[in-house]
Amino acid sequence: MINASNLIYCFAELRDLDWRQDKEITEREIKAQFDESHFMTPKVDHKTQLFVRPLDIYEIGNFVSRNLGELKKYKAFYKNNESSFAQLATIVKNRSVTGCERKILYIEDSPKEEKEVTYGISIDEKKKRIIVCFRGTFSWADKSSDLRIWMKKVVLPNCTKEVSIHTGFHDYLFDKDLYAELYQHTEDINKYASIMRKIVPLLAQHPGYKLYVTGHSLGASLSSIFAFCAAQSDNIPKPVTCVSIASTYVGGKVWRKEFMELEKRGHLRYLRVSNSVDIIPHGSPFDTRGSLYKHVGLNLRLQKEFPIVGRAPTYSLQYPTGYIAEIKHAFTNCCLLNFWGTGVLRMHSCIEYQRRLKYLKGELDNMYLNTMYEGYFATLDK
């Protein structure tokens, strides 16, 4: 899931470069000359609203390898995506070993990405997963959404109880007026409904497949809301699994209570990965009106390291299991205790999360989400 969350940034930018091949440019701008024009921007089937030709991850890796010289013309882009290029190169090199069978079925982004959510839908035929991945903060619209931190009370799709959630995140997924403006739709539809219209038929066509949702930063927050709603849909196989990377706070007390009910019923599995020295997931738990936010799910917390004394990264698992535990977690997760004042953006990046998870791979490979939930439920029964 961390790999998907990292690659969605790169894929959206690759598609933007692909689009530019047909755009008029000034003398000062660079124009990419890819060997296969519009490889990254295939046509969309008007019935399924998915790509007519899915993008195989292995083929994307080969495309990047063949056009690396052209991509290096865009120095900032190349520097920002070096880790993604290395990741794709590894997939190409090890395909016979890993048996990578993941295809990108759809990406929603340009040319309207300055106003809307960027997300991708992929299929993993080896692990039998349909994956929805939301991109994190990128455009000015994303940053504006992040800053609209006051909560609003709403009844979400497929839900019966009113919950309080982050206004900016809610509107990104459920604002019908914005969707109508972008796509000239007159239907009573929003971004969430648009995504569901694509994945429900996909899951029906692939019996035994499950829905996985992921994202980094803003994408992580959106993924938790999307998974929460999808887990209550009669058309989605259970459980829905969400793995978020560096999620901010999303909702209030009732949001957490309803979230935990879905977990207890086996409808939702949620692993929230955070870095202890990443200030974003550990920001103020209060909105602009003083209402208290609550984190949800099982928290895989990547602890800080001390290279000078030889201490390597470690991890801990935290559960929202009661008042006393909540005070302890609030203290250990306080941004003032975990903020070192340097490298804020680096500590929040997918690259840093990948580095820490790679270091802990030997320990985490033997851990399974269902087993983690058994431990979680055991603490609730005490």
Give 289-319 as a DSSP string: TSPBPB--SEEEEE---BGGGTBPP-EEEE-
Torsion angle, CA of 363/365/366/372, rounded to 10 degrees? 90
Going by the DSSP 8-state scheme, the letter that residue 20 receives in this structure is: H
Per-residue pLDDT tens digits of the chain, which is 382 residues long = 888 999 998 998 899 888 877 665 555 566 778 899 889 999 999 999 999 999 999 999 999 999 999 899 888 889 889 989 999 998 888 875 544 578 999 999 855 445 567 899 999 999 999 999 999 866 545 555 555 677 999 999 999 899 999 998 998 899 876 555 555 554 567 889 999 999 999 999 999 999 999 999 999 999 999 999 999 999 999 999 999 999 999 999 999 999 999 999 999 999 999 998 888 888 778 776 778 889 999 999 988 665 555 556 688 888 875 555 555 555 455 544 444 444 667 788 888 898 888 888 888 888 889 888 888 887 766 5
Q: Give Dmax over CA atoms of the chain in angstroms.
A: 69
Q: Which residues contact 134 (CB under 8 A, 6 or more apart)?
A: 8, 117, 118, 119, 213, 214, 215, 218, 219, 220, 222, 223, 226
Confidence (pLDDT) at 240? 98
**Contact criterion met (CB below 8 Å) for 256 and 164:** no
What domains are there in the chain, each with its CATH number? 1-104 (no CATH), 112-381 (3.40.50.1820)
Rounded distance, CA 16 to CA 299, Å? 34
Rounded distance, CA 121 to CA 202, Å? 10
Rounded distance, CA 84 to CA 137, Å? 17
Confidence (pLDDT) at 136? 83
Residue type, 80: N
Q: How many CB atoms lie under 10 A from the CB of residue 349?
A: 23
**Contact criterion met (CB below 8 Å) for 107 and 134:** no
Confidence (pLDDT) at 210? 97
Beta bridge partner(s), residue 119 = 108, 134
Classify each residue of 195-204 as buried b or exposed e, where b means 16 or more C-beta atoms within 10 Å of its C-beta: bbebbbebbe
Confidence (pLDDT) at 178? 56
